[in-house]
Amino acid sequence: MENYAALQREGFYELNARKNRGGASFGLLPWSLASEELAQGCAAPALAFNMHLSIVGPLMEIPEVPQATKQYIADLVVKQRKPIAGNFSEPQTSGLAASHGVRSTRVRHVEEGYRVNGKKSFASMIEASDDRAMLVRPEEF
């Protein structure tokens, strides 16, 4: 946990946020080199650092993600220096297959927010983060 806190303190989680959103806009190669250096000292935070990229990067780049959502994510990682954990995999998927296919985990809008129903089989960096991204499917689909 001390290593995750050091990454947070030093601003590593904002490295792949674009400059127009307050980030460093590092790009994939510098990010990879930083991760490689981190792994020399402690592999677990280096892997989690990569998982953070695999969530924040697509959210910031996919055109269908609303601008307000992109700004919210940028504020979390730049202003608040928070890592974002990922919870994509499901019991029937693993590895690269976890990012494709139909989600069995469902979400439904309720008065107090959202209700999620399903199982995830793995979550990266879950203990070191306050915020999580999760792949789900709306109940009505």
The structural domains of the chain, ordered by start, are 2-138 (1.10.540)
- pLDDT score of 134: 78
Query: Tens of pLDDT along the chain (141 residues)?
Result: 888 888 888 888 888 888 899 888 887 888 888 889 989 998 888 888 888 888 888 888 889 989 999 999 999 999 999 888 877 677 665 554 445 556 688 899 999 999 988 877 677 777 888 888 877 788 876
- pLDDT score of 68: 94
User: Do the beta carbons of residue 21 and residue 78 sit within 8 Å?
Assistant: yes
- pLDDT score of 96: 47
User: Do the beta carbons of residue 18 and residue 60 sit within 8 Å?
Assistant: yes
How far, CA to CA in Å, does 122 sit from each of 19, 92, 95, 139? 32, 11, 10, 22
Q: Is the pTM of this model over 0.85?
A: no
- pLDDT score of 98: 45
Q: What is the longest distance spanned by two Cα atoms in the chain? A: 47
- pLDDT score of 100: 55
How far, CA to CA in Å, does 23 sit from each of 14, 63, 80, 81, 107? 5, 19, 12, 10, 31
- pLDDT score of 66: 93
